[in-house]
Each structure stands twice: as C-alpha cells, then as structure tokens.
Structure 1
Amino acid sequence: MTKLTLLLAVFALTISCGKSKKEEGEDFMPSSTTEQTTEQTTDASSYDPKRGEGKYENVDLGASLDKELAAAGENVAGVKCTSCHKMTDERLVGPGWKGVTERRTPEWILNFITNPDPMIDKDPELQAQLELCLVRMPNQSINDDEARQILEYMRKNDGVN
C-alpha cells in the first residue's frame, strides 16, 4: 500500500509541475504584455519585415565604426546578450550574431532589441527561428543608448572598421 501511495504522489507532482510548450513560452512575458501581443498579432499585415515593429524608422549609422559605442556595446552585450548568443554563426540558446548586420537593416535590429515580443509574434522568419531555438527571446528592457551600442558592437563583429 505504501508503494502505491508513493507512486501516486510522484505522479501527481509530475503532472502538476509539468508545463505545455505554450506555457513555457509565456514565462518570459508578463500577462499585460501577453494581452497586448495577442491584440497586435491580429494585425500582422501591417508588419514591415525590413524595419520590424517599433519606433526606429530611419537610422543613419555612418560609414565607419564608432569604436566608443562598440566598446560600450560589448559591455552591455556581455551582461545581457552573450549568455544566449555567440559572436560566431553558431547557435547557443539563440542564433549566433555573425553576419546579422549584413542580413538585417539597422532599423530592424534596433526594433528587435528594444521590442522583441510583437516582432516575434508577426515576423515569419523569427517564428521559424523560435521553432529551432525553442526559447523566446526575453525583453531585456534595453534602452535606446544600449541598443545603439549593441548594434555598433554587432557591426564591429561583422568587420566594419
């Protein structure tokens, strides 16, 4: 009888602690964001895959690298990004950063860094990436200055001088 009780207790704990894949993705989003994202998802037709979704529309980077911004971006990325992203094309938790500034516009990168939730919900390429990585990029509350610094660090990584 004791073995049966123990077995039932383990079974009950296993069921109560388990989460579906849908619930796991929601762990990174507060409930108010979930409601907002669901509302925004319905209007995916207005999504611009070149610019993304957010406040950045026309970003002028200049031809040469801003070394001070890149150094600051390396520090920010070291704290908020590199635990999931490698600087190579190799995937860690998220995709590697090599070549990202050649594949994506500065507007798209800045909008994604500062506003990932609506972009993940609307961008078919990001949704495909989510299928590979299985972890939704969390919103790191990166401010505008930090986002610009990270972008410059990405440019440095991609060989901009």
Structure 2
Amino acid sequence: MKIDNPKANELLFKFCLFFSLLIAVSCSSENKTEGNEASNTTEENTSSAPAAQPEAVPVADQSKGIGPVSNVNVGADIDKTLAGQGKTIFESKCAACHKLNERYVGPPLGGVTQRRKPEWIMNMILNPQEMVQKNDTAQALLSTYMTQMPNQNLTQEEARAMLEYFRQADSEPKQK
C-alpha cells in the first residue's frame, strides 16, 4: 500500500491550523468576558445552558449570515459584465484555496448559489471571521475543512461581482 506523503502533510497542517485557531478563539472569548465582572457573575449564577449573547443572531436569521449585507436583489438574468469582474476577483483572491467543482483547501464553490442565500454568500466573503464565530453553517464548514477563510478585504461591490460569477457558473452545465 502506497502512502501519499503530501496528502498526509497537508492533513497534519490543517489539523494543527484548526487547533491553533481553536485556541486563539478560546483565548479571545475569555479576554472579552474577563473585563466584565457583571457578565462573570451572571454566568456563574445561571444553569449549564449557555447564556444568550446580545450580539448573537437569532436562529431564524442564520440563513443570511452575519455581516453588512442584509438584502441582495438578484435579477433573473445574469449580468455577464459583473460576472466577468467576479471571475477575475475569484481567480486572483480565492482560487488558491477554492475550486468550483472539487474540494481543495476550502469547499468547492460550484452550486453554492443553490445551497446558500445571496446574502450569506456575500457576508461570508466580506466577514468570514465573525461568520465562523456566530453562524452555524460557517462553523460546520470550518469543522469540516479545518481552515479559517481569511478576510480578503473586498468591497461590497466586489463581493456582489463574485456572487454574480457564482450564479453564472451554477447556471452552466457541468463539464466532465
């Protein structure tokens, strides 16, 4: 049986990265509550169920994600110019970790517009750290891929262009 060392090394790297991120998030959340004695007292006097955080998004809003985008109007027709801009952005900022139709460092993005709402997609592009902290779907993706998506510092217009590129790619027949 042949062992594929590059795959094993990649898996080990992802495993270490995941636990480093887990420790960083854990330390970050401890620092936020340490400075607030009232918060500590309240948490000590409550049951074992976690207390609701004021900034937490209600479960009903989870499908749109957390971030600056609360509503996206997409038309029935795809804006090919905007999709072309999105493809250029994707190739320069995202293709190192994402492919459309295969698992890579991050999840495959083919069909993403059929699985997620436009607002969720744009919020994940614009606000990946907070999405991973507060959105159940983003947390599940981190758990599966063990890699935190970095913030690429895109504008809402650039994220909208990428959404249009994803819509265009999802509307085309899949090539084998």
1:132 aligns with 2:132: no
- Partner residue of 2:82? 69
1:57 aligns with 2:54: no
In structure 1, distance between residues paired with 2:17 and 2:111: 34
8 Å Cα contact 1:53-1:108 kept in structure 2: yes
Instruction: Call closer, same or farther: CA 1:61–1:20 in 2, change over 3 Å.
Output: closer
8 Å Cα contact 1:80-1:140 kept in structure 2: yes
2:20 pairs with one of 14, 20, 23: 23
Instruction: Call closer, same or farther: CA 1:107–1:45 in 2, change over 3 Å.
Output: closer
Instruction: Call closer, same or farther: CA 1:59–1:24 in 2, change over 3 Å.
Output: closer
The normalised TM-score by structure 2 is 0.67
In structure 2, distance between residues paired with 1:86 and 1:21: 21
- Structure 1 runs not aligned, ≥5 long: 1-18
Q: CA deviation at 1:24?
A: 4.5
Q: CA deviation at 1:22?
A: 3.6
Instruction: Call closer, same or farther: CA 1:65–1:135 in 2, change over 3 Å.
Output: same
SS of 2:144's equivalent in the other structure is helix
Q: CA deviation at 1:25?
A: 5.9
Instruction: Call closer, same or farther: CA 1:103–1:117 in 2, change over 3 Å.
Output: same
1:79 pairs with one of 75, 87, 92: 92
- Partner residue of 1:118? 130
Deviates more, 1:123-132 or 1:139-148: 123-132
Q: Paired residues, what number?
A: 134
In structure 2, distance between residues paired with 1:120 and 1:93: 16
The normalised TM-score by structure 1 is 0.73
Higher relative contact order (CA 8 A, sep 6+): 1
- Partner residue of 2:110? 98
- Structure 2 runs not aligned, ≥5 long: 1-15, 34-51
Amino acid at match of 2:107: P
Residue deviations 1:3-37 (CA, integer Å, cap 9, x gap): xxxxxxxxxxxxxxxx784434678x9xxxx57xx
Instruction: Call closer, same or farther: CA 1:56–1:131 in 2, change over 3 Å.
Output: same
